[in-house]
């Protein structure tokens, strides 16, 4: 592997570590700050800090799914890592990958520690979520955009991805 490829992998790892750290810190702070069942309001009630446990995946889907949840998460992470390692030359792929992996690991830590994910950000008409969920969402959107931009770049230059 080249130094550039090693650098891309290192950037993804550092991003993931940063997301994990921020996620775990914010979850502890939110659990300690959340008071009452209605939650603490911020920004004139636009955002509430709540203390919700989520045993499912995105927005509570597959709640109570037993082995299905860790299986889905594991398969998604394996697919992402495979794609990442095959496309290290894609600009900013490290950022999208680091965000998704960091968010997934942050939520896995909760599942192992407490059996459910700690969600604490509540917007009107939206399920509660956490920083890890936000990182995963932004990372997936960024990954889709990066993949499309890279495909367009390759079509313009006349090169096809041999991977």
* 133 is a catalytic site residue: yes
Q: Are the C-beta atoms of 131 and 19 separated by less than 8 Å?
A: yes
Q: Which of 23, 51, 110, 119 is catalytic?
A: 119
Task: Work out the number of other CB atoms within 10 angstroms of the CB of residue 120.
Answer: 22
Measured distance CA(41)–CA(52) in Å, rounded: 15
Question: Which CA distances in Å does 6 have to 32, 33, 85, 163?
Answer: 39, 40, 10, 19
* 119 is a catalytic site residue: yes
Q: Are the C-beta atoms of 124 and 46 separated by less than 8 Å?
A: yes
Helix (H) or strand (E) holding 120: strand 117-122
Q: Which of 40, 133, 150, 161 is catalytic?
A: 133
How far apart are the two ends of the chain, measured CA to CA in Å?
A: 16
Which residues are catalytically annotated? 119, 133
């Amino acid at each position: 592997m080249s130094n550039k490829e090693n650098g891309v992998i290192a950037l993804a790892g550092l991003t993931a570590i940063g997301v994990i750290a921020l996620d775990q810190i914010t979850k502890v702070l939110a659990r300690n700050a959340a008071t009452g069942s209605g939650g603490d309001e911020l920004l004139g009630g636009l955002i509430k800090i709540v203390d919700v446990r989520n045993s499912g995946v995105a927005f509570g889907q597959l709640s109570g799914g037993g082995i299905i949840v860790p299986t889905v998460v594991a398969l998604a992470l394996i697919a992402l890592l495979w794609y990442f390692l095959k496309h290290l030359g894609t600009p900013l792929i490290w950022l999208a990958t680091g965000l998704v992996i960091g968010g997934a690991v942050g939520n896995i830590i909760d599942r192992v520690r407490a059996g459910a994910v700690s969600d604490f950000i509540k917007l009107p008409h939206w399920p509660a979520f956490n920083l890890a969920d936000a990182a995963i969402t932004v990372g997936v959107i960024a990954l889709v955009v990066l993949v499309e931009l890279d495909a367009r770049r390759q079509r313009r230059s006349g090169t096809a991805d041999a991977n």
